[in-house]
Chains A and B, each alone.
Chain A
Amino acid sequence: MAERSESEEVKLLGMWASPFSRRIEIALTLKGVSYEFSEEDITNKSSLLLQLNPVYKMIPVLVHNGKPISESLVILEYIDETWRDNPILPQDPYEKAMARFWAKFVDEQIYVTAMKVVGKIGEERDAVVEATRDLLMFLEKELVGKDFFGGRSLGFVDIVATLVAFWLMRTEEIVGVKVVPVEKFPEIHRWVKNLLGNDVIKKCIPPEDEHLQYIRARSCVLSLGFV
């Protein structure tokens, strides 16, 4: 259990189905940090959210002793530097740079490309699926010989890449395309099983049935993405 100073106040403005919000919950839970969760209606944002993140007006926002931090990768690093138990990032500067690189790759390349699968049909969709698979191949290779991206235990990239495991791969049901088939991506599938063996992950990911219902409803509105 992490140390708590006299008036440690940790609040997370988030959204139950957002991969960016859930990754913060995973990190806080891994570190044993107690926090107050505030569910935001992203179609009707609270004045608190707009005040705390005026630049992007988006969740997640972590508020620590009244001070807000936005952008999920920035928040994750802040959490790691502030609560030192169960480190998420490696200590070695090179290993750390590699972890940051892959996390950025998941968010800026895989997420952006994979988002386009929803709402496309036919040849256009095939092209996006192909592009997504090409990107996923890099992650596949990274996992060879490892239980997790972080090595023997969960780390930064694993937490960020839950986006792939529990969002991208859950949309397969809805879009009716196996974007990540096990024959092509055995390492990724093995890694997802390893994730599901972890209590913190199990506790912090959205419950599957509700999540699938939500994704189904959202993709019917032809909006982009998993959130």
Chain B
Amino acid sequence: MAEEVILLDFWASMFGMRIRIALSEKRVKYDYREEDLWDKSSLLLEMNPVHKKIPVLIHNGKPVCESLIQIEYIDETWPDKNPLLPSDPYKRAHAKFWADFIDKKVNVTARRIWAAKGEEQEAAKEFIEILKTLESELGDKKYFGDETFGYVDIALIGFYSWFGVYEKFGNISIESECSKLIAWAKRCLERESVAKALPESEKVTTFVSDRRKKLGLE
């Protein structure tokens, strides 16, 4: 059957990056469509009426929303190559717990570093604590998935392209606080799927600086 896969995405979205990586790991060909988040397409609004957010994965006309759910869908739909989740139920639960932790904690705190006036210092401090928790979970493993690059790695790595933003506006050095995590990120970047999915750090920082000006934060 002719497989049609469309990804509605935004270049700087760490959530969109997850799906680019997952599809790439599975060697799935897809049509990447860039959305203007300030002028959303009718397709986006139609395919994600509940949240109106990217990324949206459209497989043979049917939309799947929410990035972690999309990764699981991709893993289950294209099971032959590169399993993204372990097969053992306990290990799967462990992976899902940490990906959920990333969703609950990382972005909400990270956003406060650059998008909220007067909260940078406090948010940056909390952010480092969250990264340290993740670093402790990583331990001495090559990846969060142990020997295999997988679900939790995919959930977190996109944020690496935003580290420059957090360092600049939060006045912190992530490298000096979380060197093991930085080493992990660099290992991930050696994978073609990741290298292709993540934008240049400077490009993200420039984008955020512009956003801050428009939000009256600069």
Task: Select one of A75, A100, A101 contacting B93, CB under 8 A.
Answer: A75
Is there contact, CB below 8 Å, between B97 and A97? no
List CB contacts (< 8 Å) of A86-118 with chain B.
93-94, 96-97, 100-101, 104-105
Contact A138:B50 (CB < 8 A) given known A69-B97, A101-B66: yes
Is B101 interfacial (CB-CB < 8 Å)?
yes
Is there contact, CB below 8 Å, between A101 and B65? yes
Is there contact, CB below 8 Å, between B90 and A78? yes
Is there contact, CB below 8 Å, between B76 and A93? yes
Is there contact, CB below 8 Å, between A100 and B96? no
Q: Which residues of A contact B62 (CB under 8 A)?
A: 94
Is A47 interfacial (CB-CB < 8 Å)?
no
Instruction: Name which residue of chain A comes closest to B90, CB basis.
Output: A67
Is A81 interfacial (CB-CB < 8 Å)?
yes
A-binding residues in B (CB < 8 A): 50, 59, 62, 64-66, 69-70, 72-73, 76-77, 89-90, 92-94, 96-97, 100-101, 133
Residue among A69, A81, A101 with max Cβ neighbours from chain B (10 Å): A101
Query: Per DSSP, are chain B's interface residues mostly helix, strand or loop, or mixed?
Result: helix
Instruction: Name which residue of chain B comes closest to A69, CB basis.
Output: B93
B-binding residues in A (CB < 8 A): 55, 64, 67, 69-71, 73-75, 77-78, 81-82, 93-94, 96-97, 100-101, 104-105, 138
Q: Which residues of B contact A101 (CB under 8 A)?
A: 64-66, 69
Is there contact, CB below 8 Å, between A55 and B133? yes
Contact A97:B89 (CB < 8 A) given known A55-B133, A71-B100: no
Residue among A74, A77, A97 with max Cβ neighbours from chain B (10 Å): A97
Is there contact, CB below 8 Å, between A78 and B93? yes
Contact A69:B73 (CB < 8 A) given known A55-B101, A55-B133, A104-B66: no
Is there contact, CB below 8 Å, between B64 and A78? no
Contact A74:B96 (CB < 8 A) given known A93-B77, A138-B50: yes
CA distance A100 to B97 in the complex (A): 14
CA distance A203 to B73 in the complex (A): 33
Is there contact, CB below 8 Å, between B97 and A70? yes
